[in-house]
Structure formats: structure tokens, C-alpha cells
């Protein structure tokens, strides 16, 4: 019985396995993948693409989305370490693999290009003056930082540290005040341009505050905001200067000093960031027909019969003051006003900005450094500060030399190579030691020519007049003669020019050359 039961159970289990086998579908089986060479190549390809992504350089489109391409484009010494167009080798050595594991966004600096860029930047006279100013400011800030951090406690006593801290504060205050005084006339001029908002004013403001010279939304409001921030910077420096001059180190309120210092630092930083990341710092394409009007203007200018002087000359020598005594007297007694007027008519900016800036360069250093010296207790330092102020006033004449150099380069005037063969240094020396003679020569040159399209042209009345113009009484008669048959002979009659004929007064008629040289053969008439 047990055998039968066991046999029946086995038979029943076998039947159930057959039924289950017939009822299972394809999805009930376990999917077992056997690795092959194609799968390995696919996995390696995916890994390679992932590693290439990690080592990839950021594309130009990615930088354009973040807004970095336009701001880094002037600096050519920043470039990618490898070129994207270079093919990548399939097999890499161990050293190359080590070099390829680097930070993706690190850029290599082209040191020769960087050095060349710095040399060209330092050659500009205004940049040289900026470097000198920055060097004095940097030295003062470093020494002041050492005193405030207590690193000079062992070398100086407490009273000496307090005195030297006040001296450095006064000197730094004078340096920053002078810089604000030099820049403030231009900022006032920019406010005037914003108020007028004419086409020429808009073009000038776009060159200074916009990345591209094209129209952008609400550009007037954006530029006004930046200009106001720069004015706040200058005003905060003036208020800080009043604190240093009106109070001593003990009576000076710390909260007011810290407030004006903070505002003076924050305002220019905000202005820089706003100019960079606002619509002013973005590239805009031309959406209007503003540029289409320029060819028409150029065609009109080409149609004008003006003679451009390709090789102009200085009118008179440097010491030829007798050529125009009026200009000589005005250049000596009204140097600043004549200089500003001459700069504006030559196309170098606003007259009033030049006048105010020149006056500040000549007077502000003496006033600022003298007042700062009054608040210094050390006699040696006091006299040194006063002497520096006087020297800076004397060096203010270099402002005229700078613009003389710009005039020479713009209009291609002859160079003066008497100062070690350096033309720019020669312009500076001429203004430094004989400013009235240099200014008179510049004015005489500007009077002799007309300025058009950044070049010297011949005077309009001279270029319009023909070279061989007859006298008024000679323009009546023409040498062309007309032979008229009248009765028994031929009469020689002059042909009138311009509809006029010879008058009755024969004494005023000039001799006719054709009648003197030409033989006239008269044949008798047949009657």
C-alpha cells in the first residue's frame, strides 16, 4: 500500500510539473546575460564619455550664458591650456595620464603676452601717473596697517605710534581727496550730458559706461545710477576730509569716520559691479537704423571739396612769438582759458572740463597738502608734505604736455626729438619749461587749419577759391573772337562772358592778345 501511495504521489508530482511547465510564459524565466565583446566595448565607451565630460573645457556658449566672454576678451593672455581642435591620442603614456588629471576650469597664463600688455599699458602717461599715485597709497596703507596691528610696538612707543598713525591718515586723506578733485569735473560733465541727452551726448556716454555702442533698454536710468554712485564716492571723501581737518585725533567722532570710509569704499564697488552685470555690461546688437544713417553722412562729407593735409606742420617755431602777438599775450596771461578753448575746437573734450581740471592740477595739491601739514605735529614731516604739494603743483603743467602729445599723434604733426629721441618726453618738457610758447604754437597751428574727421584740412575760403582767378575787370572780355560780315568788310567783335559786353569806355578795355599776334587776311567783296 505504501508503495502504491508513494508511486501515486510521485506520479502526481510529475503531472503537476508538466502542467506548470506548459502554463509558464517567457517572462517567468530569469534573464541571464552572457558577457560578450560588444557589451564590453559599450561599457568602455560610456566610461570614456564620462571621463571626457569631467576633463572637458567649458565651451564659448557656456561662458556666454554666464556673461564672462565679453569681460575676459580684452585680456589675451588668458587662454585655454589645450585647443579643442587638437585630436586626442588613443593611447596615452603614464606621464600624459598624470597631466590630464587636473582641474577642468584652470587656464594657463601666457606670460609673454601678459608682460607685453603691461608694458603697453604702462607707456601711457596717465597710467604712469596712476601707478605713482597707487605706489604712495600702497606704502601708506601698508605702514598704517602695521601700526594698527601692533607689529611696530617694539620699535615705537605709544605716543609715537599715535603720532605716526595721524600723519599717515592725513597723507592718505590728502591723496584720496586730490584724486576725487581731479575726477569730479568729468562726473559733473556727465550729469550735464545725461540732462541734455542728445545724440552726440548719448554716443559719448555709451563709450564710457556701456560695453557696446548700441541702444539698450533704460540706458539713461542705468548710467544715471552709476554716475550718482560715483558722485557719492567723491562727496563721502570730502566729508571725511572735513573730519580730518576740523577735528583732532581725540575729538574726531569714530562713527562718522567709519561711516564715510565705508560709504567711500562701497559706492565705487557697487558702481563697478552694476556696470559689469547690468544691461550696461552686456553685448547688444543694433536693433534700429542708427548705423544706417552713417554712410549717408559719410557720402555728404566725401562730396565736400575739402583738401586734407596729410603732412601738416607746426605753424612757426616754438620761440616764434612775434608771429602773432595777440596769441602770445593770451597764452601767457590766460593760459588755462586758452588751453581749454583750443582743446575743445580740436576735438579733445569739453572746454569747461579742461579748464577746471587744469586749475585743480595747478592749485589743489598746494592747498590740500598745506592744510594737511598743519595737522601734523612732526616738523620734518610737515615741511616734507608742503614741499611735495608745491612740486605737484609745478608738475600740473604736464597736463598740457599730455594733450600736446595727443594733438601731435592725432593730426600727425612733426615730432620733437631733442629730449633723448623721445617725442612724448619732448612734449612734456616743452610744456614744463615754456608752457606759453608751446600753447601759442598749438593755437597758431589750430588757426591755420580746419579740423574735420580727426584731420587737418585747408581753410574753406582758400580751398574754394580757384588757383588762377581773373580780375573782375578782366573777366568781361574773352579772347575768343567772332568774325562778322558787314557790308564791304569783316568786323572783329569780342564775345561777352557771362552775358556782359564791353562798355562804351574803350580805355578800360585790356589789350587783346589774339589781335596782336594773329594775322587777319581780309578779302574784298565782289560787287
- Note the pLDDT of residue 470: 53
Alpha-carbon dihedral angle through residues 406, 410, 412, 415, given to the nearest 10 degrees: 10
For residue 471, pLDDT beyond 80: no
> In the numeric block, which cell numbers belong to residue 148?
594698527
pLDDT level of residue 41 (50, 70, 90 thresholds) = low
Lowest mean pLDDT of 250-259, 335-344, 494-503, name the range.
494-503
> In the numeric block, which cell numbers belong to residue 28?
517567468
Triad 219, 221, 226: Cα angle to 5°:
95
- Note the pLDDT of residue 290: 46
What is the rounded CA–CA span in Å between residue 402 and residue 121?
15
- Note the pLDDT of residue 311: 85
Q: What is the residue-averaged pLDDT of the chain?
A: 74
- Note the pLDDT of residue 107: 52
Q: Are 441 and 315 in contact (CB under 8 A)?
A: yes
Q: Are 460 and 449 in contact (CB under 8 A)?
A: no
Q: What is the pLDDT of residues 160-183, one digit of tens each?
A: 888 888 889 999 999 999 999 999
Lowest mean pLDDT of 179-193, 222-236, 457-471, name the range.
457-471
pLDDT level of residue 104 (50, 70, 90 thresholds) = very low
Q: What is the pLDDT of residues 267-284, one digit of tens each?
A: 999 999 999 999 998 888
Q: What is the mean pLDDT of residues 323-330?
A: 90
Residue 450: beta bridge partners? 457
Alpha-carbon dihedral angle through residues 517, 523, 524, 527, given to the nearest 10 degrees: -150
Q: Which residue has the higher pLDDT, 204 or 3?
A: 204
What is the rounded CA–CA span in Å between residue 410 and residue 453?
11
Q: What is the mean pLDDT of residues 101-130?
A: 72
> In the numeric block, which cell numbers belong to residue 87?
585630436
What is the rounded CA–CA span in Å between residue 12 and residue 5?
10
What is the rounded CA–CA span in Å between residue 375 and residue 171?
10
Q: What is the mean pLDDT of residues 60-86?
A: 47
pTM over 0.75: no
Q: What is the pLDDT of residues 476-486, one digit of tens each?
A: 444 444 444 44
Amino acid at each position: 500500500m505504501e508503495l502504491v501511495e508513494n508511486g501515486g504521489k510521485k506520479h502526481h508530482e510529475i503531472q503537476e510539473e508538466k502542467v506548470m511547465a506548459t502554463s509558464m510564459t517567457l517572462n517567468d524565466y530569469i534573464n541571464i546575460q552572457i558577457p560578450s565583446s560588444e557589451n564590453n566595448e559599450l561599457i568602455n565607451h560610456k566610461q570614456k564619455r564620462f571621463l571626457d565630460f569631467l576633463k572637458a573645457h567649458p565651451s564659448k556658449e557656456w561662458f556666454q550664458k554666464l556673461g564672462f566672454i565679453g569681460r575676459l576678451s580684452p585680456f589675451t593672455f588668458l587662454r585655454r591650456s589645450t585647443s579643442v581642435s587638437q585630436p586626442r591620442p588613443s593611447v596615452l603614456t603614464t606621464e600624459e595620464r598624470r597631466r590630464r588629471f587636473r582641474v577642468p576650469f584652470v587656464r594657463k597664463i601666457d606670460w609673454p603676452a601678459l608682460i607685453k600688455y603691461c608694458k603697453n599699458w604702462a607707456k601711457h602717461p596717465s597710467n604712469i601717473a596712476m601707478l605713482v599715485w597707487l605706489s604712495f597709497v600702497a606704502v601708506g596703507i601698508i605702514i598704517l596697517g602695521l601700526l594698527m596691528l601692533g607689529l611696530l610696538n617694539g620699535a615705537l612707543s605709544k605716543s609715537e605710534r599715535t603720532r605716526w598713525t595721524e600723519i599717515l591718515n592725513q597723507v592718505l586723506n590728502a591723496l584720496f581727496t586730490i584724486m576725487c578733485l581731479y575726477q569730479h569735473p568729468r562726473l559733473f560733465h556727465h550729469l550735464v550730458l545725461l540732462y541734455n541727452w542728445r545724440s552726440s551726448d548719448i554716443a559719448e556716454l555709451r563709450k564710457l559706461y556701456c560695453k557696446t555702442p548700441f541702444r539698450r533698454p533704460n540706458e539713461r536710468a542705468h548710467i544715471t545710477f552709476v554716475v550718482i554712485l560715483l558722485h557719492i564716492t567723491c562727496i563721502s571723501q570730502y566729508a571725511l576730509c572735513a573730519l580730518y581737518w576740523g577735528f583732532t585725533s581725540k575729538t574726531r567722532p569714530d562713527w562718522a569716520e567709519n561711516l564715510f570710509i565705508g560709504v567711500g569704499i562701497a559706492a565705487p564697488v557697487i558702481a563697478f559691479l552694476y556696470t559689469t552685470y547690468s544691461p550696461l555690461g552686456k553685448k547688444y546688437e543694433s536693433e534700429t537704423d542708427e548705423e544706417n544713417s552713417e554712410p549717408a553722412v559719410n557720402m555728404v562729407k566725401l562730396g565736400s571739396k575739402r583738401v586734407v593735409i596729410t603732412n601738416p606742420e607746426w605753424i612757426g617755431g616754438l620761440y616764434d612769438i612775434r608771429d602773432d602777438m595777440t596769441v602770445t599775450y593770451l597764452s601767457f596771461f590766460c593760459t588755462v582759458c586758452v588751453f581749454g578753448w583750443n582743446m575743445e575746437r580740436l576735438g579733445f573734450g569739453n572746454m569747461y572740463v579742461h579748464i577746471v581740471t587744469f586749475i585743480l592740477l595747478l592749485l589743489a595739491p598746494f592747498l590740500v597738502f598745506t592744510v594737511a601739514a598743519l595737522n601734523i605735529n612732526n616738523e620734518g614731516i610737515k615741511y616734507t608734505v608742503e614741499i611735495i604739494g608745491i612740486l605737484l603743483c609745478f608738475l600740473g603743467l604736464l597736463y598740457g604736455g599730455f594733450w600736446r602729445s595727443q594733438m601731435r599723434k592725432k593730426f600727425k604733426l612733426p615730432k620733437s626729438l631733442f629730449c633723448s629721441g623721445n617725442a612724448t618726453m619732448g612734449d612734456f618738457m616743452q610744456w614744463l619749461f615754456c608752457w606759453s610758447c608751446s600753447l601759442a604754437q598749438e593755437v597758431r597751428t589750430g588757426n591755420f587749419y580746419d579740423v574735420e574727421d580727426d584731420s587737418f584740412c585747408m581753410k574753406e575760403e582758400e580751398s574754394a577759391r580757384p588757383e588762377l582767378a581773373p580780375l573782375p575787370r578782366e573777366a568781361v572780355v574773352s579772347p575768343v573772337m567772332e568774325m562778322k560780315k558787314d557790308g564791304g568788310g569783316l568786323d572783329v567783335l569780342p564775345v561777352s562772358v557771362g552775358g556782359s559786353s564791353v562798355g562804351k569806355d574803350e580805355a578800360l578795355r585790356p589789350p587783346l592778345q589774339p589781335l596782336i599776334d594773329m594775322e587777319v587776311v581780309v578779302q574784298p567783296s565782289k560787287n
